[in-house]
Amino acid sequence: MKKLIAIVVVILAIYYFSVPSPMALELPETVLNIEIKGAKQLFISQVPILMYHSISNSGGPWSELSVSPESFKEQMGYLVEQGYTTITLKDLYLHWIDNEPLPLKPIVLTFDDGYLDNYTTAFPIMNERGHIGVIFPYLNKVGNVNSVTWEHLLEFIDAGWEVGNHSKTHMDLTRANHAQLDREINYTTKVFEENLGVEIVSFCYPAGRYDLEVLEVLENSTLTISVTTNYGIAKAEENLLTLSRIRINRSDYLNGFIRKLERYEN
């Protein structure tokens, strides 16, 4: 009798484990893969774009634009601790226009003007933490005193950074005629592309100055995304040629940096 019961138990067990469960029938592997892929392409409608200039202890009337190396290290460490992932403006454009995937907590770090300390100080600090950024040198500054060189810019690109156009002379574009605008925007884009061997897609307005004529030239150029000095978080519903940024000042230190980010985290 015991032997008979044991045989019946074995038969029932074989039947139970050989028949697919209703859950398995409802959720085949293909559906699961589609769901996972969809989760990776979650649309992110707003992304903080931080604005830096010099990473140094420089003084003078523009000292607020210079963030100390010590503060910068703390800020970059905070981004790691909070799970932020740095991306480029091109990445952001491709997400908003073509729905290319982004990490769940993206952030863009931009550096205006092309100071040498962007390479000697900011670059190694960011590399150690796995960060990338977008550097905006203006053409006439490249290779000059206290400025990045073409070789430095190629190193940035090799490390995954983006190089953008910040004009030729850093002039107030709202005071430029059409020929000057063509030189400051289109001609300069071509020079950067010829020297760096990459497509230049982003632009940064000198001193944040622009008007309708400047925008018209940009709209008819090969540039696709631009940043201003307008304060705030960048949003997909904005004009992609006038995106807002969050300026990081010397006096922010770590606490001010955190407050500026927390303002837009929710």
**Per-residue pLDDT tens over the stretch 250-260:** 999 999 999 99
State which residues form the domain around 27. Answer: 2-35
Contact 241, 173 (CB under 8 A): no
Q: What mean pLDDT, rounded, does the chain reach?
A: 88
Q: What are phi and psi of 77, to 5 degrees?
A: -65, -40
Q: Name the pLDDT band for 205 (thresholds 50, 70, 90).
A: very high
Mean pLDDT of 217-222: 98
Residue 60 pLDDT grade (very low, low, confident, very high; cuts 50, 70, 90): confident
* 54 within some domain: yes
- Pairwise CA distance, residues 137 & 40, whole Å: 33
> How do strand 66-67 and strand 243-247 relate by DSSP bridges?
unpaired
How does pLDDT run across 120-160, given as a tens digit for each residue? 999 999 999 999 999 999 999 999 999 999 999 999 999 99
C-alpha 228/C-alpha 86 separation (Å) is 19
Question: Tokens for 188?
Answer: 């300069």
Statement to judge: residues 27 and 96 lie in one domain: no
Residue 114: how many CB atoms within 10 A of its CB?
27
What's the pLDDT score for residue 41?
A: 64
Q: What's residue 266's pLDDT?
A: 59
- Predicted local distance difference test score (pLDDT) of residue 19: 40
169 part of a folded domain: yes
- Does residue 41 fall inside a structural domain? no
Judge if 31 and 63 occupy the same domain: no
Residue 245 phi/psi, 5-degree rounding, is: -140, 165
Q: Measured between alpha carbons, how far is 110 from 207 in angstroms, rounded to an integer?
A: 14
pLDDT at residue 38 in the model: 41
One domain for residues 82 and 120: yes
Residue 114, helix vs strand vs coil: coil
Determine the Cα–Cα distance for residues 255 and 136; give it in Å rounded to an integer: 26
- Kindly state whether residues 18 and 150 are assigned to the same domain: no
Residues 61 and 190 in one domain: yes
Q: Does 116 reside within a domain?
A: yes
End-to-end CA distance of the chain: 68
Is residue 243 within 8 Å of 49, Cβ to Cβ?
A: yes
Residue 198 maps to a domain: yes
67 with 22, same domain: the answer is no
CB 88 within 8 A of CB 28: no
Which of 49-53, 234-238, 262-266 has the weakest average pLDDT? 262-266
221/110 same-domain check? yes
Residue 40 lies in a domain: no
- Least confident window among 119-123, 198-202, 261-265: 261-265
Any idea what the CATH number is for the domain that residue 255 is in?
A: 3.20.20.370
Could you give the angle at the alpha carbon of 64 between the alpha carbons of 61 and 68, nearest 5°?
120
Q: Determine, yes or no, domain membership for 190.
A: yes
Query: For the whole model, what pTM was predicted?
Result: 0.84
Q: Is residue 42 assigned to a domain? A: no
Q: What is the pLDDT of residue 18?
A: 43
* Residues whose CB is less than 8 angstroms from the CB of residue 209 and which lie 6 or more positions away in sequence, other chains included: 172, 173, 174
Q: Is the pLDDT of residue 25 over 50?
A: no
Give the other-Cβ count within 10 Å of 258's Cβ: 16
Phi-psi region of 227 (alpha: psi -120 to 50; beta: other; left: phi over 0): beta
Mean pLDDT in residue range 159-184: 98
Q: Are residues 161 and 189 in the same domain?
A: yes
Answer yes or no: do 73 and 127 share one domain. Answer: yes
Contacts of 15 (CB under 8 A, 6+ apart): none
135 and 238, same domain (yes or no):
yes
Number of domains in the chain: 2
Residues 137, 119: contact at Cβ < 8 Å? no
Looking at the fold, whether 247 and 192 belong to one and the same domain comes out as yes
Whether residues 137 and 200 fall in one domain:
yes
